[in-house]
């Protein structure tokens, strides 16, 4: 499929399908970047994981077993 034909097909889509197509293209670009580098960027998940301050504290539910 030529680029011009692809653009014409894209323009014929409804706005919702265009948005969905744009998201899919973004997904493919991200996938391609991760495959070409092969390495994860240090700190890429920073701020996405959270642990409660009392994570190590004993659970009340197990008080009878301790």
Count how many domains the chain has: 1
Cα separation of 32 and 25, whole Å?
10
Tell me whether residue 65 is in a domain.
no
Structure confidence by residue, pLDDT tens digits, 4-50: 999 999 999 999 999 999 999 999 998 888 776 666 778 888 888 88
pLDDT at 11: 93
- Reported in sequence order, the residue ranges of the chain that DSSP labels E, i.e. its strands, are none
25 domain-assigned: yes
pLDDT recorded at residue 12: 94
Check residue 13 and give its pLDDT: 93
14 found inside a domain: yes
0.85 exceeded by pTM:
no
Domain that holds residue 20: 3-59
């Amino acid at each position: 499929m030529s680029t011009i034909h692809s653009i014409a097909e894209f323009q014929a889509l409804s706005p919702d399908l265009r948005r969905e197509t744009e998201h899919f293209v973004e997904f493919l670009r991200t996938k391609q970047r991760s495959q070409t580098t092969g390495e994860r960027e240090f700190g890429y998940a920073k701020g996405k994981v959270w642990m409660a301050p009392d994570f190590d504290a004993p659970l009340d539910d197990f008080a009878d077993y301790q």
